[in-house]
Amino acid sequence: PSTDFTFPSAVAAYGLILRDSEYKGRATLEDVLALARRAIGEDTQGYRKDFVRLVEDTRRLHGTEGRGR
């Protein structure tokens, strides 16, 4: 899939995880990071890199580093 599809998928999964939505399936913050990092692409204004940092911070705050959730 293109970065223009993959990155928004990461953002959507992140929102579902934050809301603890029943629709998140088995998605984890690790999954979101993997998708987002893979789809950074050109990112001329740095928004995608900012999103990656936001997810990393969320993972640290939730104490889920290395545990997948």
Q: Tell me the helix, strand and coil percentages in the chain, rounded to 5.
A: 65, 0, 35
Of residues 38 and 68, the one with the higher pLDDT is: 38
d(CA 50, CA 43): 10
What pLDDT does residue 1 have?
74
68 neighbors 28 (Cβ within 8 angstroms) = yes
Q: What pLDDT digit, counting tens, does each position of 11-50 carry?
A: 999 999 999 999 999 999 999 999 999 999 999 999 999 9
| Band of pLDDT at residue 66, cut at 50, 70 and 90 | low
Task: Note the pTM of the prediction, 2 decimals.
Answer: 0.86
d(CA 28, CA 36): 12
